[in-house]
Structure 1
Amino acid sequence: MSLTIKRIGSIDGIRGWSLFGILLANLLIFQYGIFGKDEISYFDLSQSNLFFYYFVKIFIEGAFMPIFTFLFGYSLILMRNSLERKQLRIKWHLFRRFIVLMILGGLHSTFLWEGDILFVYGLMGIFLLMFVNRKPKTLLIWGVLLFAAFSIISLFDSGEDFELTNPEKIETYLDETWIIYGTGTYAEIKDHRNNVDPMELSGGEAVLLLILMPVLLVPMFLFGMYAAHRKWLLDPLKEKQQYLIWLLILIPLGLLLKAAPYLFNEAGWSFGMSGIGGTVLPIGYICLFAFAYSKLHTHRLLIAFENVGKLSLTNYIMQTIICTFIFYGYGIGLFAKLGVTASLFLGILIFSVQVMVSTLYLKLFNQGPLEKLMRVFVYLKIH
């Protein structure tokens, strides 16, 4: 999701890698629904499918989206610096970019799929405008404070207040979703997605969730902005020893924290540990990819991730189009039929196709179609 700023191979590569992880995690939503993925006992999975379900929950889900969030903050500073060099109005151009993201996100969630992130990113981008001209130290302090606040809240709140408290209602919802998503027409699926909601949040709870959103999301945005100011990830070869140390610490710690809900019975405590792991593990994964870049920066695999990352916005939307066609009734109709194990192989296949298409496309064009559209609205110029 970038504008015409100087391309940084490692950043594009990490962005492409995060898209791969996001696809594998989102396949749970594509196949079981936004609520069904966390009510997996309803679908009576086999032992092998359960194994890979928990593998995805611990190693992948909630670990790659924060990487994308980190890179969003990183790119925000790169764009800010680019706009400043061109003597353009920084906040006004960024504001237009975030409005476009919100519009795309609204269209995406309304007409295609309930798992959209673009609207939230656009909304959070507007919130981040107050930080865009702050000093790196200020960004780090706010990031640490908000992360600490989130950690304390999550440690003492199991999240049960926001869970579906009516088992009969969620079962009825899943019954309807299975039928409609698996066999319904586009209009029926769209109507179900936009008008049927099993959540029972009061107005006060909804407001509280809205207030807590910055506390949950902003730390990774700010850490990414801080990293861009400090020019981290620009020279992986020079910093490889640091990346090696941190990946060896953060990845095992993050996996342990993510696994806490499945290892311990104390719901509130394990919920909090998992939430903290959702920040620790992604940073460890970033260090892992950066270390790989220091060793294999010209390897075909890393170049493949770069190519996907350069077209991140277009590829993200294409993942939705491809997967909804595969799983929904107006396409092949494999909703809740394929299984988690097979869906992982499907994810690898889809991403491999995206790698090939992105590589061929970039030989002909400099930007993806949605990236080009974004640039036109941000700069208000066709060329």
Structure 2
Amino acid sequence: MNSYKRSTAVDAIRGLSLLGILMANMLIFQYGMFGKDELHYFQPSILDRVSHDMLRVFVEASFMPIFTFLFGYSMVKMRESLTTKGLKYGRSFTRRSILLILLGFLHSTFIWEGDILLFYGAVGFFLLLFVKRKPKTLIIWGTLLLALVSAFGYGMLEPSAAEGEKMETFVKQSIEVYSSGSYSEIFQFRLNGELPYDLPDWLLLLVVIILPLMNAPMFLFGMAAAKRGRFLHPSMEIKLYLRWSLLIPVGLGLKTAGVMLGNSNSWSGILMMLGGPLLALGYLHLFASIYAFSSRQSLLIRAFEAVGRMSLTNYLTQSVICVSIFYGFGLGLFGKLGVLQGTLLAILIYAVLAAISLIWLKRFRSGPVERLLRIGTYWSWSGRAKPKPLAPVTADPAAELQTEGPPAS
């Protein structure tokens, strides 16, 4: 078995995760990074409130972890491919991480503040500590970190009056700037606007240090799955997928309880932080089982695969489209469309990009941003890692004498 071959199932799962990510991110595009959790400042209807709660339970914090899982998976597969070709994987990983950091910086600075690429690039260096570890070790570390991270969610309290007032001021300013401001005004607000919280420098530094640990569990679970060769032969793993799919009701139950308790309850945070990744693992394996049963000729399956193969291009394109719709320099619909309508718009945007991805991949092997990333990663215009040339075999005179027969008499 070729353990480092490309898995079309993984491509399809990655494509599905991008749909959920867009649906969750639509809240940020519509209401802002902080406004999405302060919906009362936007005079929401009952439909908006119900839709918001449904997104929090079924979508938010449960599709990005799938993408995170697959990032860890791809790191292991990339290492396997490079080592098989006799190449040093550390250099390629380093170049790839630096490029993701650069791309994420440009994305977050000039397009949209909700970028995740910069973090993925930075956490790649941290994950190098685990890339050689055995699957069992990765699962143990991932489980321990998941329990630890979930425990951090305990004790969420209502903000003080001063903090609430500061949040209100910030959200109201963001509504005015994002809905009617020019590109320059929005850029300056994001760059120089006063954030709605006061954290000492030491606490900010601590957050930066522990952030990789908080997101590490799904990375590590993905690396373990890759080392065990999961998702390469879906039809042979259906029973495994179905067993793991049983995590869906567990994750939904935890997240539903967290939403119903409300942010002021001390247990709400821990329920949400534990329920999100568990639901993600359930979703991931349920879709893998559906993929195993489906025909490879299914248009829907091929669409998910196409989006997954061009995930980076599609992720960035989604940002450009959505800021053009909601921000003042575009259609200026910030805070005006509605939660359910925004979700339906996300599905429409995804469908259009899926169709474009299918057409694109009929002519090209990968998306344009993926191609540039591969060129930089492998330092090759072809975008492929070049196998290390084999050293020429030199003749050993002593060996030749030993194999020669006696001279003819």
Structure 1 counterpart of 2:139: 140
CA drift at 1:235: 1.8
Which residue type is aligned with residue 48 of structure 1? Answer: L
CA RMSD of the aligned region, Å?
1.6
Q: 2:69 touches 2:220 (CA, 8 Å); kept in 1?
A: yes
Query: Which secondary structure state, in structure 1, belongs to the residue aligned with residue 380 of structure 2?
Result: coil
Which residue type is aligned with residue 251 of structure 2? Answer: G
Alpha-carbon separation, structure 1, partners of 2:68 and 2:83: 23
Structure 2 counterpart of 1:253: 250
1:366 and 2:340 aligned: no
Alpha-carbon separation, structure 2, partners of 1:104 and 1:33: 21
Structure 1 counterpart of 2:291: 293
Runs of 4+ in 1 over 4 A off after TM superposition: none
1:94-243 correspondence to structure 2 within 5 Å: 94-154=93-153, 156-158=154-156, 166-196=163-193, 197-243=195-241
CA drift at 1:98: 0.6
Q: 2:57 touches 2:259 (CA, 8 Å); kept in 1?
A: no
Structure 2 counterpart of 1:268: 266
CA drift at 1:273: 0.9
Structure with greater helix share of residues: 1
Say if 1:174 and 1:276 are closer, same or farther in 2 by CA, change over 3 A. Answer: same
Q: 2:130 touches 2:138 (CA, 8 Å); kept in 1?
A: yes
Alpha-carbon separation, structure 2, partners of 1:230 and 1:124: 22
Which residue type is aligned with residue 341 of structure 1? Answer: L
Gaps of at least 5 residues in structure 1 are none
Greater Rg over alpha carbons, structure: 2
CA drift at 1:9: 1.0
1:68-107 correspondence to structure 2 within 5 Å: 68-107=67-106
Structure 1 counterpart of 2:386: none
CA drift at 1:7: 2.6
Q: 1:264 touches 1:270 (CA, 8 Å); kept in 2?
A: yes
Alpha-carbon separation, structure 2, partners of 1:307 and 1:130: 32
Structure 1 counterpart of 2:242: 244
Which piece of structure 1 moves more, 39-48 or 238-247? Answer: 238-247
Q: 1:20 touches 1:351 (CA, 8 Å); kept in 2?
A: yes
Q: 2:324 touches 2:331 (CA, 8 Å); kept in 1?
A: yes
Offset from partner CA, 1:258-316 (integer Å, 9 cap, x none) = 12222236712121011000110000000110110121142221111000000010000
Query: Which secondary structure state, in structure 1, belongs to the residue aligned with residue 266 of structure 2?
Result: helix
Offset from partner CA, 1:233-264 (integer Å, 9 cap, x none) = 222221212222321x2111101111222223
TM-score, L = length of structure 1: 0.95
Q: 1:21 touches 1:60 (CA, 8 Å); kept in 2?
A: yes
Alpha-carbon separation, structure 1, partners of 2:162 and 2:258: 19
Alpha-carbon separation, structure 2, partners of 1:108 and 1:95: 20
Q: 1:260 touches 1:271 (CA, 8 Å); kept in 2?
A: no
Say if 1:141 and 1:159 are closer, same or farther in 2 by CA, change over 3 A. Answer: farther
Structure 2 counterpart of 1:8: 7
Alpha-carbon separation, structure 1, partners of 2:63 and 2:299: 22
Which residue type is aligned with residue 188 of structure 1? Answer: E
Structure 1 counterpart of 2:390: none
Gaps of at least 5 residues in structure 2 are 383-409
Structure 2 counterpart of 1:47: 46
Structure 1 counterpart of 2:277: 279
Q: 1:69 touches 1:221 (CA, 8 Å); kept in 2?
A: yes
Say if 1:40 and 1:295 are closer, same or farther in 2 by CA, change over 3 A. Answer: same
Say if 1:73 and 1:297 are closer, same or farther in 2 by CA, change over 3 A. Answer: farther
Which piece of structure 1 moves more, 49-58 or 322-331? Answer: 49-58
Alpha-carbon separation, structure 2, partners of 1:79 and 1:251: 30
1:349 and 2:343 aligned: no
